[in-house]
Amino acid sequence: MAETQRLTRAVLTGLGTYLPARVVTNAEMAKRIDTSDEWIVERTGIRQRHFAAPHETAAFMGAEAGRAALTEAGLAPEALGAIIVATSTPDQAFPSTAVHIQAALVAFNAFGFDLSAACSGFVYALSVADAMLRAGQVKSVLVIGTEVYSRILNFADRGTCVLFGDGAGAVLLEAKEVPRTGPGLLSTHLHADGRLAEILYVDGAVGRKDHPGHLVMQGREVFRHAVTLLAGAVNEALAANSLSPADIDLLVPHQANRRIIDGVGKKLGLPPERVVVTVDRHANTSAASIPLALASAVADGRAAPGKLLLLEALGGGLTWGSALLRL
């Protein structure tokens, strides 16, 4: 009876990514600022990042990733219900990045909006899309993470400017009736603590001509909170679904620092081959990092239909959360 029971779930039917052509190695960063490949690799695991050219805006990259996701799903743009764009580097204060992407995709039956939750943006956006799909508000949602952090980096601060990169990733989620053991988002868990706002923030705003803002971070403080809070969100996801770490096929973490990723993997007791790492190639692409990591795991064959993935992220806010997704 329980196995035959069907329920509405948000099922991933398409995935797309976009990375700027320009690759900036640690050696190139070391020519510009007082740093070294050794320091960056040892402290973060980062070896290179992509930096956007002037035409590669958040909307441009998000549209490229979104188009690829729609194509993979075989969904016509006019059939799309909604677009949610997780970004903290929008091109304008308004209109939203989402409406620019809607126009680029010719998806005129979709409504859209941006969601601001820094590096947790993609997990937050998945959660909102999941609720909209299960409530029957729309049949499909394009969830996009797109970021151009190179435009908000302070290149006079070597403690932050080596850590971030640009890129975009998108998933198409569609409402489908599936068996309990079938694919889709099983749960999402979101958290925020505004008391920690001052340890990671942008000291300006898109709307401020005099100072659009630079990223400011107390790295050690963020690090201190990261592993504990992420492990909490991950355990919450497992408990809510009566699962144990052994049930997880793949951890798809936000890619901020190799040491944080390994720390969470270790707490779960997962072997390295069940933890996706792309921070070496992409650095921290904030809201884009999880879909980029997911695409990498699809490409190497680890993320395949039927696999159970645990997604987690933490970022400015602080905000953090987790999502369990069966492909």
Q: Which residues sit at the interface with ligand UT7, rule CB under 6 A?
A: 35, 39-40, 43-44, 119, 158-159, 162-163, 219-220, 222-223, 226, 256-257, 260, 284, 314-315
Report the nearest approach of ligand UT7 to the CB of residue 33 (Å): 7
CA 176 to chain centre: 23
Task: Output 43 or 307, the one with its CB closest to ligand UT7.
Answer: 43
Extract the runs of DSSP E, i.e. beta strands, from 36-88.
48-50, 82-86
Q: Which of 119, 161, 214, 282 is catalytic?
A: 119
119 an active-site residue?
A: yes
Q: How many CA atoms lie within 13 A of 97 on its CB side?
A: 30
Report the nearest approach of ligand UT7 to the CB of residue 108 (Å): 34
Task: Output 160 or 188, the one with its CB closest to ligand UT7.
Answer: 160
161 an active-site residue?
A: no
H or E stretch at 104: helix 97-105
Report the nearest approach of ligand UT7 to the CB of residue 163 (Å): 6
235 an active-site residue?
A: no
Report the nearest approach of ligand UT7 to the CB of residue 193 (Å): 14
Task: Output 81 or 315, the one with its CB closest to ligand UT7.
Answer: 315
In angstroms, the CA 277 to CA 111 distance is: 33
Find tokens 């820094």 and name the residue. 118
DSSP secondary structure, 115-148, as one string: E--GGGHHHHHHHHHHHHHHTTS-SEEEEEEEEE
Task: Output 128 or 162, the one with its CB closest to ligand UT7.
Answer: 162
The answer for residues whose C-beta is within 8 angstroms of residue 116's C-beta and 6 or more apart is 86, 87, 88
Which residues are part of the catalytic machinery? 119, 254, 284
